[in-house]
Amino acid sequence: MSKQFSRHGILFVISAPSGAGKTTLVEALRKTSNLFYSVSCTTRAPRVGEIDGENYQFLSSADFRARVEAGDFLEHARVHGDYYGTLREPVLNNLNNGTDVLLDIDIQGAATIRNCGDPIIREALTDVFIMPPNLEELRRRLHKRGTETEEQIKRRLETATREMELWRDYRYTIVSGSIEEDLEKVRHIMAAESCLSRRLRPK
Ligand code: 5GP
């Protein structure tokens, strides 16, 4: 940030139907400086190679429920039969300290945040939808990834079809191309958003 201005952090929310290449995109974005990646909690079982605390905080259903009841989540949702949630405190702390935050969450979570009563969150929000080129390509990417069963792929494609209709709710929509292209577009959005006059406060 420049010497004349300070600002709150920006809350970047990225949603994409599963298999749209978002995981690779998000992994690349996580290397951005001054950007805090919010590690979600989930009841889903870890995939091979996933690390607790890094990819997700893997919780039992009972622990997840307890955290819902304690009001620990900014948003939470059931996605593909499992529960996922964003922890409230680290997100708010970082935004208040002027650090940008990145959430990789589904369309339900994005809608909850968009409609949330907290003006700081609403002001901070910049939401981006990654649109897969088409369903066939999505199917191909899911098969190539090989981490889901046929039944799970079918379910994910059904969800993706519904999700793809919601792109208009997002401020930005990126039609997914190569990872490099998608990454460049997200970085441009981030750069432009950080220059919005309304975010800046004279020191
Ligand atoms: P996956 O199981 O493939 O890692 O993620 C499945 C879906 O859950 C993805 O669309 C991902 O964006 C979404 N997701 C991950 N974390 C959260 C979260 O904290 N909240 C919500 N609402 N969705 C999440």
CB 110 within 8 A of CB 86: no
CA pair distance 8, 91, nearest whole angstrom: 12
pLDDT of residue 19: 67
Q: Mean pLDDT check: name the lowest of 16-25, 79-88, 161-170, 176-185.
A: 16-25
Centroid of ligand 1 to alpha carbon of 104 (angstroms): 6
> What is the position in ligand 1's atom list of the atom closest to the CA of 82?
2
pLDDT band at 22 (very low <50, low <70, confident <90, very high): confident
Q: Is the dihedral of CA 35, 191, 88, 179 positive or negative?
A: negative
> What is the position in ligand 1's atom list of the atom closest to the CA of 86?
19
Q: Which protein residue's CA is at the shortest distance from atom 14 of ligand 1?
A: 105
Q: Is 44 in the pocket of ligand 1 (CB under 6 A)?
A: yes
Tokens of 112: 């909850």
Residue to probe by mutation, ligand 1, list 84, 89, 128, most atoms within 8 Å of CB? 84
The total of other beta-carbon atoms located within 10 Å of residue 155's CB is 15
pLDDT surpasses 70 at 2? no
Centroid of ligand 1 to alpha carbon of 195 (angstroms): 29
Q: What is the mean pLDDT of residues 98-108?
A: 97
Size of the chain in residues: 203
Residue to probe by mutation, ligand 1, list 40, 68, 108, most atoms within 8 Å of CB? 40
CA pair distance 199, 64, nearest whole angstrom: 34
CATH of 5-198, one of 3.40.630.40, 2.70.98.10, 3.40.50.10330, 3.40.50.300: 3.40.50.300
Residue to probe by mutation, ligand 1, list 43, 56, 102, 106, most atoms within 8 Å of CB? 106
Where would I find the beta strands (DSSP E) of the chain? 5-6, 11-15, 35-37, 41-42, 57-58, 73-79, 82-87, 100-104, 125-131, 172-175, 201-202
pLDDT of residue 75: 98
pLDDT band at 139 (very low <50, low <70, confident <90, very high): confident
The domain segmentation of the chain, as residue ranges, is 5-198
pLDDT surpasses 70 at 1? no
Q: Is 108 in the pocket of ligand 1 (CB under 6 A)?
A: yes
Instruction: For residue range 162-186, list pLDDT tens digits in order.
Output: 888 999 999 999 999 999 999 999 9
* pTM for this model (two decimals): 0.92
Mention every residue, 6+ apart, whose C-beta is less than 8 A from residue 201: 5, 6, 7
